[in-house]
Structure 1
Amino acid sequence: MIDQTMMDLSLGEFETLIKRAAKGCGLGFGEADDMAASARWVMAHRMAPAGFTHEFLQTLERTSAESRRPVISAEDWATGWVGTSGVFCSLSAGIALSDRENLIRAGLNLSLDNVVSPVFLLPFLAGLSGRTGLVVQACWYDLSVSLNGKEALIDGDSQHLMASAAPVRLQFLGEGTTTGGVPMKPHGRAELSREELAALQALAHRTYAPATEESRLKGAG
């Protein structure tokens, strides 16, 4: 029988746990930091449970950083995006968008086919909105998420937030553009089941150096 008792962590503790778990899955320091920050934002807005983050980390573990990186046309970066093997990684796509912040403008539309776990792209879009002043709208299936630098507005079926993969349409709208949707109020704590906590800790423990006789004699562990 699975113990579904909920555990309560600070968002900082949760972010640190995800960072270590991401490193345990083979992500580099930069990617692990971005993954942890993204997971913290998703958890704070209660868009997906910790178990969904664990599943995404396992997906990342099965791929290399190079294979996750989108191929972007130097001539026309806004329309020349190609996912490796036809698949986009939400983490890598978010990093790539953030790196091109100076090129983003109102009126830009971007379509990404088959984005894996698209909910983890949203924190990067929220950051872009906050820094540029633009309203960013992300749509997949019959779900629309609008980010205006202050809040996230959900319109449509929120179950699609936990889509394992979906085609995503991005629109960058002018500052002050009004969009519909229900605000997703951020929470100040992370909630996860004992099972979810144990699964993430198991990934994080991979980063710990194994105890040796010498370290035990020195009092480690």
Structure 2
Amino acid sequence: MICSLNEIEALARKAARGGAMSWGLAEEAGKAVRWLSDNGFPGPWLLAELLRQNDGKPYCDLAPEQPDGILRARRGPLCPIIAGALICDRADELKAGATLRLHEVAVPLLLAPFAFAASRSAGVALALEWQGVSLLLDGGVPKLAGAAAVPAGAGTGTTSVTLTARDGQAPAWSPATPDRHVSAETFRILESFAFRTYAPATEASRAGAGAGSDMD
């Protein structure tokens, strides 16, 4: 099905919240998925993959730490939404030549929107690299290369990622051809997570449903 960018963002935000992200991180997830879709990447599908991988994991396991100069989760793969928000918070540290290494990131392509935002905030070009794949954020539209430049093959596994600040211009806001297609399976997965945000019915709510007012 074809969805508007507003619909994609709203569904992603609600699904992320249903996947136990805080409201703040869920907002970031919604914006990230919208950015990906606006730039021709399968944002909803990537988020669905992440939520399936993280389902049931407590935040304390996903929270990043940097004991040896490498950003990593306390236990298991690093969540790109949590790590991405941290990268944006530390954008002022990104000077040409600076490198940040991230250990075992789940669905690494979900880092792209945060790297884009950090690049524009710091005013430098950035490159994300993992498993022979590179995403360059420099001047124009994001450039994905390697692994046949196929997000489906390059963006959903778990791998270490290097973020490098380079000499060059920060990327301009120049979206590529948007990808607003959401498959039925992806929509079903995201809806199943979003459904968790709905409060279960209580005896009081059932009793009040459809009741008329004394003033009727």
Equivalent positions of 1:43-122 (< 5 A) are 43-48=37-42, 50-73=44-67, 79-85=69-75, 87-122=77-112
Inter-CA distance 168–8: structure 2 relative to 1 (3 Å threshold): same
Aligned residue type for 1:171: T
Q: Would you say the 8 A contact 1:126–1:148 is kept in 2?
A: no
Corresponding residue for 2:136? Answer: 146
Q: State the 4+ residue runs in structure 1 displaced beyond 6 angstroms.
A: none
- Deviation, 1:27, is 1.1
Corresponding residue for 1:132? Answer: 122
Structure 2 unaligned blocks of 5 or more? none
In 2, the alpha carbon distance for the partners of 1:218 and 1:184 equals: 50
- Deviation, 1:215, is 4.2
Structure 1 unaligned blocks of 5 or more? 1-6
Aligned residue type for 1:201: E
Inter-CA distance 161–45: structure 2 relative to 1 (3 Å threshold): farther
Aligned residue type for 2:163: L
Corresponding residue for 2:168? Answer: 175
Corresponding residue for 2:21? Answer: 27
CA RMSD of aligned residues (A): 2.5
Q: Would you say the 8 A contact 1:48–1:162 is kept in 2?
A: no
Q: Answer with 59-68 or 88-97: which moved more.
A: 59-68
In 2, the alpha carbon distance for the partners of 1:161 and 1:184 equals: 20
- Deviation, 1:34, is 0.9
Aligned residue type for 1:163: T
- Deviation, 1:203, is 1.6
- Tell me how many residue pairs correspond in the alignment: 204
Provide, for residues 37-95 of structure 1, a one-character-per-residue CA deviation record: whole Å limited to 9, x for no partner.
Answer: 1122222223336333212112233222222121135xx8xx35343236322111111
Aligned residue type for 1:60: N
- Deviation, 1:175, is 3.0
Q: Would you say the 8 A contact 1:50–1:196 is kept in 2?
A: yes
Q: Would you say the 8 A contact 1:139–1:168 is kept in 2?
A: yes
Greater percentage in strand: 1
Corresponding residue for 1:4? Answer: none
Q: Would you say the 8 A contact 1:153–1:184 is kept in 2?
A: no
TM-score, normalised on structure 1?
0.81
**Which of these residues, 12, 16, 22, is aligned with residue 10 of structure 2?**
16
Q: Answer with 57-66 or 14-23: which moved more.
A: 57-66
Corresponding residue for 1:185? Answer: 176
Inter-CA distance 130–80: structure 2 relative to 1 (3 Å threshold): same
In 1, the alpha carbon distance for the partners of 2:103 and 2:146 equals: 20
Q: Percent identity over the alignment?
A: 25
Provide, for residues 103-153 of structure 1, a one-character-per-residue CA deviation record: whole Å limited to 9, x for no partner.
Answer: 221110122221111011111000111222211001111111001264201
Corresponding residue for 2:200? Answer: 210
TM-score, normalised on structure 2?
0.83
**Aligned to 1:115, what secondary structure does the other structure show?**
strand
- Deviation, 1:206, is 1.6
- Deviation, 1:213, is 1.8
In 1, the alpha carbon distance for the partners of 2:14 and 2:186 equals: 15
